[in-house]
Amino acid sequence: MSNKPIPTLPPGQDENRLREKFQDAVAAQSDLMDKLAERLITLELAIPGLYATVLKLVAGDDATIPANWAFYATFALWLLALGLTLAALTPKKWDVIPNLMRQDPARMSEGLGVEDFFEKSAVYKRRLLISSSLVFFAGIFLAFFNVG
């Protein structure tokens, strides 16, 4: 092995632009989760209303819908999904150290670095929204047991 230094060049314009775009993408992840949550809320409010309307049209004016376990479970799951989505949109307080970019994983209890904040907040929202979606679609699946 030689002791000769390895020649290097400063980063070029393209490399700097790519780094900036990467940093923008990391910072925008939480905003993307917020946009997804807004769309999920729209669906989570529209589907139960549409479901009730279809049941009314199918059953007619004088007909009743049996309030069995599937009926209650369907609306409970839809309500839970809405709650999870709203929780994802509700601001959470994070302990961030502004002059630290990335915290040592062993010292996370002392506070997050700036990069850690963007990553943790996006992961927190993503978990809530995935859970919300799964619960909501479970409610849609159960809704089929109410028909008939």
Please state, in angstroms and rounded to a whole number, the distance separating the CA atoms of residues 84 and 82: 5
DSSP characters for 86-109? HHHHS-----B-TT-SS--GGGGG
pLDDT on residue 49: 86
Whether the CB-CB separation of 29 and 122 falls below 8 Å is answered with yes
Please state, in angstroms and rounded to a whole number, the distance separating the CA atoms of residues 55 and 60: 8
Structure pTM? 0.78
Which bin fits 92, alpha (ψ -120 to 50), beta or left (φ > 0)? beta
What is the tens place of the pLDDT at every residue in 8-40?
777 788 887 888 887 888 778 888 899 999 999
What is the tens place of the pLDDT at every residue in 52-99?
787 777 766 665 666 788 889 999 999 999 999 999 999 999 898 888
Distances (CA, A) of 143 to 99, 131, 140: 51, 18, 5
pLDDT on residue 46: 93
Question: Quick one: how far is CA 65 from the chain centroid?
Answer: 34
- What are the boundaries of each domain within the chain? 17-146
